[in-house]
Amino acid sequence: MTFTARYDGTCAAECGDRIHPGDHVRYVDDQLVHVGCFPKDDEPEPRPTCPNCFTEIALNGACSCAS
Ligand SMILES: [Zn+2]
Ligand SMILES: [Zn+2]
């Protein structure tokens, strides 16, 4: 559910920008985020796969052949 912010706040999503009254926002885990910053349908991003070892590449860039 989206609504219009009534108070200043801070976006809890990655953008980290201020939320101003009148902005379209919604709650994610009880924290306000801009509607545009909301991750779509809570679906995790598909992770890239290493072309050499075919394991998912971790956030730090590590895969099975890098260890
Ligand atoms: Zn935001
Ligand atoms: Zn690899």
Q: Which domain holds residue 10?
A: 2-66
Burial of residue 19 (CB within 10 Å: 0-12, 13-18, 19+) is buried
**Centroid of ligand 1 to alpha carbon of 64 (angstroms):** 34
**Centroid of ligand 1 to alpha carbon of 22 (angstroms):** 14
Tens digits of residue pLDDT in 26-56: 998 899 999 999 766 555 667 889 999 999 9
Q: What is the CATH number of the domain that holds 14?
A: 2.10.110
**Centroid of ligand 1 to alpha carbon of 50 (angstroms):** 31
Number of domains forming the structure of the chain: 1
**Centroid of ligand 1 to alpha carbon of 1 (angstroms):** 16
Model confidence at 8: pLDDT above 60? yes
